[in-house]
Amino acid sequence: MDNLNNKKILLIICGGIAAYKSLEIIRLLKKNNVIIKTILTKSGAEFVTPLSITSLSQSKVYQDLFSIENEAEMDHISLSRWADLILIAPATANTISKLANGNSDDLASTVTLASNKKIFIAPAMNVRMWDHRSTKDNIAKLKTYSYKLIGPKIGDMACGEYGEGKMSEPIEIVKELENYFKNLKKNNKLRAIVTAGPTNEYIDPVRFITNKSSGKQGYEIAKSLLKKGFDTTLISGPTNLEVNNDINLIKVETAEEMFQATLNSLPADVAVFSAAVGDYKVKKTSKEKIKKVDNLNLELEKNVDILNYISNHNSLRPKLVIGFAAETNNLEKYANKKLNEKNCDWIIANDVSNKKIGFNSDFNEVLIFYKNNDTEKLKYKPKSEISDEVVEKIINHLN
């Protein structure tokens, strides 16, 4: 597992009988030359001791949020920044609930919530706790925050019951971490461009034509690409969304500005055009505010078609060009038409007449139309999960 060599992993051990498996995780990580720091929760210390952890990790164990010694050596912000990733194993129902609801009453939850790194959780709990609606809701929420779930498995439990909720085996957890770093290494030379959000086409200095796009799906795709190691540029129309500082964010307003920003960001290996670019702009923008009149006639002209231009350009065209189609009717017909007319490799289409998905929603359901006439449906789920699936397909295509 060469991809783990010299990586820095922060392991958080929570309470539960599965905590003993964390010692084997430490042993396997050390065997692969991983640098480990450990946070042991108060309940976790009921199952494993700091001495046993230190003996294996050859590093100090952090326990108390308000320890003067810890704060002088490394405060919770620094600890969260130190790691290449955070692994919570075992992750109890209580810890999962804390993180899903933004509670930080101990060192483990404070460090996790303060982190800007990838977070893996390996749940371990009784089958009834795992199946409880509140746990399912909390897990779904963490997925929208880009937490990565490892397990749990189905099997016999220490309490004597059988079912889902058993923590994954240490070797399986370590392999997941190794695959994560492997993908980062494999994709870090690949460049991606994502456009997102609406455009504003001005009528006068204070008025403009726009649309209802929130930019959420495009932003999530950019985040997913970054997580997988892509050098990612996000060209965004006006939104209130935020992204990781590692994403090269370019803010624009008009379609022309987005077009120029796209040209300046090329070449790239993949381009995802998820922005809802205005089809039309005002032919002559007034330099002064137009006063109210009974009838105002605006002469419109077609905007630059960014997707069509890039997709049909011989030298600028990326290896993979993906367009989006937001439709209110005849979804398949219009998506296929756009796929063919604009020479895209894929079109990702959704029905924005459904208020539960699409514009301004955190959820989506899409159909992917491929150049080879195949079609694939990604069922209703958070936009972050849709994005992760799309990026996995992008990686498979490029490789």
Average pLDDT over residues 359-371: 92
CB 234 within 8 A of CB 249: yes
Distance, CA of 9 to CA of 105 (rounded, Å):
22
Q: What CATH architecture does domain 188-398 belong to? A: 3-Layer(aba) Sandwich (3.40)
pLDDT attached to residue 300? 93
Distance, CA of 26 to CA of 37 (rounded, Å):
10
Instruction: Give the Cβ contact number of residue 307 at 10 Å.
Output: 22
Residue 114 scores a pLDDT above 60:
yes
Residue 202 scores a pLDDT above 80:
yes
Distance, CA of 169 to CA of 161 (rounded, Å):
18
Instruction: Give the Cβ contact number of residue 167 at 10 Å.
Output: 27
For the stretch 110-114, contacts whose Cβ atoms lie closer than 8 Å and that sit 24 or more positions apart, written own/partner, are 110/65, 110/76, 111/10, 111/12, 111/39, 111/76, 111/79, 111/80, 111/86, 112/12, 112/80, 112/86, 112/88, 114/76, 114/77, 114/80
The amino acid occupying position 197 is: G
Is 159 marked active-site? yes
pLDDT attached to residue 75? 60
Q: How many helices (H) and strands (E) does the chain have?
A: 14, 20
How does residue 186 score in pLDDT terms, banded at 50, 70 and 90? confident
Residues of the chain with CATH 3.40.50.1950: 2-185
Distance, CA of 380 to CA of 365 (rounded, Å):
4
pLDDT attached to residue 261? 95
What percentage of residues in the chain have a pLDDT greater than 70?
Answer: 97
The amino acid occupying position 135 is: T
Q: Give this prediction's pTM.
A: 0.68
Q: What is the residue-averaged pLDDT of the chain? A: 90
Residues of the chain with CATH 3.40.50.10300: 188-398
- Give the closest residue to 394 by CA, choosing from 190, 195, 146, 120: 190
What percentage of residues in the chain have a pLDDT greater than 90?
Answer: 71
Distance, CA of 313 to CA of 123 (rounded, Å):
48
Average pLDDT over residues 37-55: 93
pLDDT attached to residue 274? 97
Q: Give the tens place of pLDDT for each residue, 377-391.
A: 999 999 999 999 999
Q: Would you state the torsion angle of the CA atoms of residues 339, 227, 112, 174, taken in this order, to the nearest 10 degrees?
A: 120
pLDDT attached to residue 337? 94
* CATH number, domain 2-185, options 3.40.50.1000, 2.60.40.10, 3.40.50.1950, 3.40.630.10: 3.40.50.1950
pLDDT attached to residue 76? 63
Q: Give the tens place of pLDDT for each residue, 227-278.
A: 888 999 999 999 999 887 789 999 999 999 999 999 999 999 999 999 999 9
Q: Is the dihedral of CA 106, 384, 225, 222 positive or negative?
A: negative
Average pLDDT over residues 64-91: 74
Average pLDDT over residues 87-94: 95
pLDDT attached to residue 25? 96
pLDDT attached to residue 44? 93
Residue 279 scores a pLDDT above 70:
yes
Across 42-51, 53-62, 73-82, 302-311, least confident range: 73-82
Residue 71 scores a pLDDT above 60:
no
Average pLDDT over residues 34-63: 93
In the numeric block, the tokens 């795709």 are attached to 221
Render 71-117 in DSSP notation, one character per residue: HHH--HHHHHHH-SEEEEEEE-HHHHHHHHTT---SHHHHHHHH--S
Render 310-332 in DSSP notation, one character per residue: HHT-TTT--SEEEEEEEESS-HH
Report whether the peptide linkage leading into residue 382 is cis, meaning its omega lies within 30 degrees of zero.
no
pLDDT attached to residue 74? 52
Query: Catalytic pick from 159, 206, 290, 298?
Result: 159
What does the chain come to in residues?
399
